[in-house]
Amino acid sequence: MIDIEKIRRNPEKFREAIKNKRVPLDLDELLQIDQERRRLTDLVNRLRQERNRLSQLVAHGAAPRDENIAAARQLGEQLSADETALAEVEQRCAQLMAIAPGLPVEGVPLGETDKENVEIRRHGDCAARPNWFRDHLEIGKMHRMIEFDGARLIAGSRAYALQGAGVMLEMAVLRFALDQLVAKNFVPVCPPLLVRHEAMYGTGYFPLGDDNAYEFERDKLYLTGTSEVGTVAMHMNKIFDCADLPQRFAGISACFRREAGAAGKDTRGLYRVHQFQKVEQVVFCENDEELSAKIHYELLQNAEDILRALELPYRVVAVCTGDMGLGQVLKHDIETWMPSREAYGETHSCSSFHDFQARRLGIKYRDADERKKFVFTLNNTAIASPRILIALLENHQNEDGSINVPFALRPYLGQRSRLELP
């Protein structure tokens, strides 16, 4: 949620953000509705005061009593009509404010799609594929790690099941990432997977992303698409002490996304699936843009450290305005090399929101002067599976079909240096 006062003071900045983020918001309508809302609010407040004054006169029998009663009745009818009009205007204003975007910080590249994201750096060599190369589906089936037929029989398209060494490898990756964050004082959290509308709205995934969420209409609950949702929203209406900030959390959960509009795109294998596992970095910090930027790059470095430990080539890109989410003000993606795609594939997203989520959820802190302020929120993937398994299987395979285990994962896999064919 954006502070409406900021929009009033800087309409051109928001007009630019609406255009660059490709948000379907008519700013002129919002400003007109806001003006009408303020006019009606003042009018209704004045009418209520006058109604109360007349009610006191009638109650005390002040003369002329009949005229006071008639005036009170007439005023009540007018007040009722104006209150109805105000409620309608407030509802429309809330609908428009729900899609008011966060302002990208200085330096965010302009662009419409991910094709215009700007590469910042690369790490590791993307070796040419040998003639014996196998993609993750082939090598995974050779190791009996991945089961598609049975999974799709019971769950439909883009369903999969991991089994055997596939399960152990995924658990090793998730636990390694979690341990790395815990060592850096992140508090591990297993948040709710089913959440109310307020949680999805508050974290910015509604209203523009509601077509990607699985809804349980009877229960009025939604499956979350990232552990960020529950980890952030469970602090709704909380007030932190300044001394307790920043708060660092490592959310770990299953995640669910419809991937609406992605039919026929990246749907082969494990790249784009409906269900996956994720460890997410989440931070609440003071309302300070410089501090937020510092933490943003710390979260980015944490993810890079994990990928380096997994001995995987990757690149970091600055995400352009058109590829950013509604509330994001700064975003970087990390893309890991996937030989079967002959390209880097997105595996991590690092996002700063400033107070966008906190305003929607009412998350505040008391500063040194006991003033209440909204916190700033940030998040970044630590690891997400099974997409990361594509890179692990394809980059670490050997000609004989075995798979090299990165040194960092060996303690989680019985100190094995290779996964041999069964």
Catalytic residue positions, numbered: 257, 272, 346, 349, 387
User: Is the Cβ–Cβ distance between 400 and 385 less than 8 Å?
Assistant: no
The three-class DSSP label of residue 3 is coil
Distance of alpha carbon 121 from the chain centroid: 24
Provide CB contacts within 8 A for 81, sequence distance 6+.
Answer: none
CA distance 337 to 347: 10
CA distance 125 to 252: 30
Q: Compute CA distances 111 → 21, 115, 209, 224, whole Å.
A: 9, 8, 20, 28
Q: Is 403 exposed, middle or buried (0-12, 13-18, 19+ CB in 10 A)?
A: buried
CA distance 414 to 201: 43
User: Is the Cβ–Cβ distance between 196 and 220 less than 8 Å?
Assistant: yes
SS3 content of the chain, % helix, strand, coil (to 5): 45, 20, 35
- φ and ψ at 222, to 5 degrees? -135, 145
Tokens 């089913």, residue located: 194
CA distance 105 to 337: 29
Q: Compute CA distances 417 → 142, 310, 411, 414, whole Å.
A: 18, 13, 10, 9
Residue 127, CB half-sphere, CA atoms under 13 Å: how many? Answer: 11
User: Is the Cβ–Cβ distance between 195 and 221 less than 8 Å?
Assistant: yes
User: Is the Cβ–Cβ distance between 54 and 76 less than 8 Å?
Assistant: no
The two three-digit tokens of residue 374, written as one number: 């909204």
